[in-house]
Amino acid sequence: MADALLETAIANWAARLCANGVDVSDYLDVTSQIERWDDWCDAWCARAHAHLSLGEAALREARGRSAGEALARAATYYHFAQFLFVHDRPRQRDAHARAVDALRRALVHLDPPGAVLGVPLGDHHLVGVLRTPAGPGPHPVVMLIAGLDSAKEEFRLVEESFLSRGMGTFAFDGPGQGELAEDLPIRDDWEDVGRAVFGALAARPDIDPQRIGVWGVSLGGYYAARVAGAGLDLRGTISLSGPYDFAAAWPRLNPLTRRAFEAHSHATSADDARRRAGSLTLEGRTASITGPLLVIAGQRDQLFDWRDGERLAREASGDTALCILADGNHGCANVVTQHRSLSADWMAQRMSLQPISSLQSLTYL
């Protein structure tokens, strides 16, 4: 394998793909046949189409649950086909559109089903997927915030961890993400984004406005921290592998991640992207985080130093817990069994769905 960008993708994101719904056999088979980064998008789209065909066959045979599973899986594969493919925007846009369509077709067949919800933000609308547990509401709900290259199509297994404990989920695309990537650039002031989403959820009769939480991964972990400092009545916030200062992390970033930031920040050049990265910092903002906060970081994270999470946890003003995983990579995707259920339990306790206890895997600050 001589393609450096392909080597970067495989070295950095194998665990992430498999932790978020890509079958490991599919992963090994697809990546073994790719020789150039330029082949990545087409190869994953082809495998996504195979799962889409399975879903369509299940629909014809009135096997709704199987159809939902296959269509949602296809959406995840289409998403990962395009998630870093910013050098070829036509192919990226086509794969993204296919991911969006596959997920929307899947939603009614999921258990519990999902619905698309738009949230006004200025002259635009954020787009998200709301899923709530079976039974009468109002339900607690967790906002799921994507990162630099992730989107709502990636989060079915994250949703399940919360849904199985009685919490609803709202996975949405914010500025610079998913369905908004072309219209709005990445922005630092997620307090405003959080207020818009919180207000839309709190106004719904099926949502308990007193039990809303936040979870964010990677750059979404930074966004989650900004939302936590927005003065909202949040039950809890989870920040997973977020940076403290994105500009300080810039030298650690691989070329694919830098290119993605340049594209999603709508920068005019690599230098402009690095300048824009300077606005993404928690410096001087952590004291306003007064609610319950769980920070998770991996000591083998190649993008954001795990000490960024330690600093966030130390500086926050509220009831804070810290989980540092010695073997965790970026997003701790390679040790997902060590934190995903733990995070959901922590949030369920904040939502009064489980008794409050000191979880032994966490350090309380």
Query: Domain residues of the chain, as ranges?
Result: 1-111, 112-365
Tens place of pLDDT per residue across the chain (365 aa) = 469 999 999 989 999 999 999 999 999 999 999 999 999 999 999 999 999 999 999 999 999 999 999 999 999 999 999 999 999 999 999 999 999 999 999 999 999 999 999 999 999 999 999 999 999 999 999 999 999 999 999 999 999 999 999 999 999 999 999 999 999 999 999 999 999 999 999 999 999 999 999 999 999 999 999 999 999 999 999 999 999 999 999 999 999 999 999 999 999 999 999 999 999 999 999 999 999 999 999 999 999 999 999 999 999 999 999 999 999 999 999 999 999 999 999 999 999 999 988 888 899 88
The reply to whether domains 1-111 and 112-365 share a CATH topology is: no
Strand 114-121 relative to strand 124-131, pairing: antiparallel
Architecture of domain 1-111: Up-down Bundle (1.20)
* pLDDT value at residue 310: 97
* pLDDT value at residue 289: 98
Distance from C-alpha of 199 to C-alpha of 182, rounded to nearest angstrom: 25
Q: State the pTM of this model.
A: 0.97
* pLDDT value at residue 1: 44
Distance from C-alpha of 33 to C-alpha of 31, rounded to nearest angstrom: 5
Fold of the CATH domain 112-365 = Rossmann fold (3.40.50)
